[in-house]
Structure 1
Amino acid sequence: MCDLVLWCVSPQRLQEVGTEEDLRKILFGGTFHVFDYEWRKSSFQFREPDSELSYALETPSGGARPVQMVVQARVLKYLLFMRQNGDEGRTLLRVGKKDQETALATALSDSLWLAGQQASATVTLVTEDYCVTPHLGYKLDNFTERLQLFTFSQKEDARKFILEHIHCFKDEGSHGVILFLYSLVCSRTVDRKQQNKLRRRVCTLLNLLLTGRASPNVFNGTLLFGEDGQEMERGRLLQVGSMLKTPVFPVWLCCINSSYSVVFGLNRSLLSDWKMEHLFHLYYYSGQSSQTTTARLTVDTHSHHWEAPADGDPEKRFPSLEMTIRTKWAGAAVDWSGHAPFY
């Protein structure tokens, strides 16, 4: 349970803004469905402070992992490039508890502010009182019915508020990922979210997290599929456009074999100076508990010794992460620096 501190904002109950049923309909298509156990136990917990992976969030397998890994990418952006202390592009430092909490609050507020079109952000927290009167066809989950909304017109105010209540998002049993997801939907506003039909595709949710727009597509510009404008056929791989592969900061969200992870670099110039792309290091965090060290890869884009096999499926011979990197740097050679390759 979150103990609310005094803040210069007027909280709204879900019943007052008519959102409780809309939230369920957006996410599940109806009011009878609730989040399963894996979602309800998910929060934003870091690895041990001041350890080698102290920058990393714990992301058990389950439906919440894509959301957690997007937040992980924003945490890395803050720790590597946004902190005031130290130089940009620093080596991976051991992160203390205070920096962990600040990074998480910044990451969450960044996504909420984008979802609010950089004009507002809404944070949802759990209270003791029930804010919704159940009715026929509405299934109680003892969680959504106790939400209150806090809306901010300044990004920094939202960040400070989240930091004050950071335990509501990171503590065990806090339902932290669900709270963040509800905050995201409310920041975007329900009406716009209904139009985008968020519940249909994971890609739509991830785009909302990454860009503030709930688009189901990841290609550049506009593409038409068939004479009647139908969506891409099911089972076809998403074609990620060059714009999403070239972010402002060298941090990428990856989906490899249906598992989400992050790849990142320490040098921001990697994306603005072509000379930096000849030979450089990338770092990989899979989100899996079995990973105990950060994998460092050396990427050589001028080496030509890598060639696809004459026959057969190349993905069966080369690690999937290497193949993913080559979608950005075609033909690059990847040295795992002694780490066991992630397939």
Structure 2
Amino acid sequence: MQVSDQEQRTELDLEEITRKISFLDKWREIFSYCGLGTNNAIPQNHDGNHVSADETENATGIPQPRGQGHLPSSSLCSIPKPSIISSESGGSPISLAMATKLRQSLFGNTIHVFSYDWKKAYFRFHDPFSDLAFTLEVGKGGARSIQMAVQGFIIKDLLFTRKGKDCNFHSLCAVSKQEQQQALAAALAGILWAAGAAEKATVCLVTEHTYVTSNPDYSGDDFTERLQLFELLEKEATEKFIYDHLQCFKEEGGHGVILFLYSLIFSRTFERLQKDLDASSTHLLQPHAGGFLCRQAVLNMILTGRASPNVFNGCQKGKSQEILHGVLTRSDVGYLWWGKDTSEDDRLSQVGSRLKTPKLPIWLCNINGNSSVLFSTNRQLLSDWKGERRFDLYFYGGQPPQKKPVQLTVDTHSHHWERNQPGDGHGAGRRFSPVEMLIRTKWREATINWNGTIPFF
């Protein structure tokens, strides 16, 4: 009878464990690793705090170091374990000197670390075969502008690079999961290859080993210290390598945006980066509301391959007669900017023609500090002035209420009754939406038809 009771208790224990695993599948390997069939204690580190998934074991069952720079307890369940690779994969481990330069290039010091919104940011598409199949889900915070810049290159690949595909909006909505992955790999590889001056690209991935230890002059984050760097000498090889390791960039918990930013900096090299920047811009991120925003140099590095800190054409002399570095060449994806607190003349003079008129009709947009994307499916739009008289643009702002990109019809005919009415100019912001004002920085005389959509943003 005693044996029967024991068997009954064992059965109940197993049922309870099975029930928990069904709701917490991502902890499956932690349960197995810690033997929770007989002991339900949650593993703790030497500080007595609960150990997160990325401190215990990765998705392939490789044990991870404990008690090292874990995330705050409030975010343990929000950021799952990152995708990591074997330390025997053949890359070059990061050194303390490299980690220090990386931190200084980003923050201007070695003490700051990325905020929570950066750590949880990665590259995730909306559902395939949907109105937003070609778009990334973007969050809030400083990483958003990088996600939107990459979005521009994804659109470039899907619309204008794929062979045997029609260049129309419907083809974008018919994108499959595999096509999403291929487009993301192509976008990331193309950006890194351009940053490496078309000579080589460097891809950073996280391993299970820690190569750099914290010290009074360097604050570790249990992520940067585990990097390995992989150098690729061909663009095609870079794309294939990223595609083979795409889970590191597109899975939750992988710090995918940070990983891409690291790869971007190492591809550019610290030496080139120093030459790109000027005296007024010595690092790439700026503190904002408890987090960090990208300076223009980061966006320009993604768009043009150079970390130019300004958006005007060429170089100019500053107020102190120092040389300020702007944009030297046209890029595939352009840039438009509009801010409600800036005068129209300042807006029009800020962004140069090289960014306003890219090689392809795709623009990363900054509207009152919010990133978005504007594009046309007509590859020749910017090559034929006749095509710019009346044309359609698609706008994706990444806001949750937006269920599909908005189709805008732009008419650049001269409308004197619109242009000369009282309230135009500085007062136009009260009559037109910020999206319309942004478009007018490129096509000054334009009127915009929202085709039934209520103007927003």
On whether the aligned pair clears a TM of 0.5, the verdict is: yes
Please show how residues 212-291 of structure 1 align to structure 2 within 5 Å. Answer: 212-226=305-319, 228-229=321-322, 239-291=350-402
The match for 1:49 among 119, 123, 128 is: 128
Aligned residue among 295, 300, 314 for 2:428: 314
Instruction: Measure the CA separation in 2 of the matches of 1:192 and 1:101.
Output: 30
| Structure with larger Rg | 2
Q: 1:192, CA displacement in angstroms?
A: 2.7
Deviation at 1:293, TM superposition (A): 1.3
Q: Select between 238-247 and 124-133 the one with higher mean Cα deviation.
A: 238-247
CA RMSD in angstroms comes to: 2.2
Unaligned runs of 5+ residues in structure 2 are 1-81, 286-293, 326-340
1:70 lines up with 2:149 in the alignment: yes
8 Å CA contact 1:264–1:283 kept in 2: the answer is yes
**CA–CA distance in structure 1, aligned partners of residues 409 and 323 of structure 2:** 41
Counterpart residue number, 2:56: none
**Do structure 1's residue 331 and structure 2's residue 445 form an aligned pair?**
yes
Higher RCO, Cα 8 Å, sep 6+: 1
1:206 aligned onto 2:287:
no
1:104-143 CA-partner distances (Å, limit 9, x unpaired)? 0011011100110010000000000001122222212110
Q: Is residue 83–residue 253 contact of structure 2 (8 Å, CA) maintained in 1?
A: no
TM-score (norm 1): 0.93
Q: Give the TM-score normalised by the residue count of structure 2.
A: 0.70
Q: Structure 1: give runs of 5+ residues left out of the alignment.
A: none
CA distance in 1, matches of 2:84, 2:435: 43
Which residues of 2 match residues 68-217 of structure 1 at below 5 A? 68-89=147-168, 91=170, 92-195=172-275, 196=277, 197-199=282-284, 202-217=295-310
CA contact (8 A) 2:87 2:207 kept: no
Once the two structures are superposed, what CA deviation does each residue of 1:273-324 show, in whole Å capped at 9, x if it has no partner?
1111111100000011221011000011115143264246211210111111
How many residue pairs align between the two structures?
339
Report SS of the residue matched to 1:99.
Answer: helix
Deviation at 1:224, TM superposition (A): 2.2
| SS of equivalent residue, structure 1 residue 134 | coil
Letter in 1 for 2:239: R
Q: Which deviates the most, 132-141 or 97-106?
A: 132-141
1:5-32 deviation per Cα after TM superposition (whole angstroms, max 9, x unaligned): 899x84100028x311111111111211
User: Residue type of the partner of 1:248?
Assistant: K
Identity, % of aligned positions: 47
* Range 31-40 or range 299-308, more displaced: 299-308
Indicate how the Cα distance of structure 1 residues 5 and 128 shifts in structure 2: closer, same or farther if over 3 A, else same: closer
CA distance in 1, matches of 2:256, 2:444: 39
Instruction: Go from structure 1 to structure 2 and tell me whether the alpha carbon gap of 1:117 and 1:317 turns closer, same or farther (over 3 Å shift).
Output: same
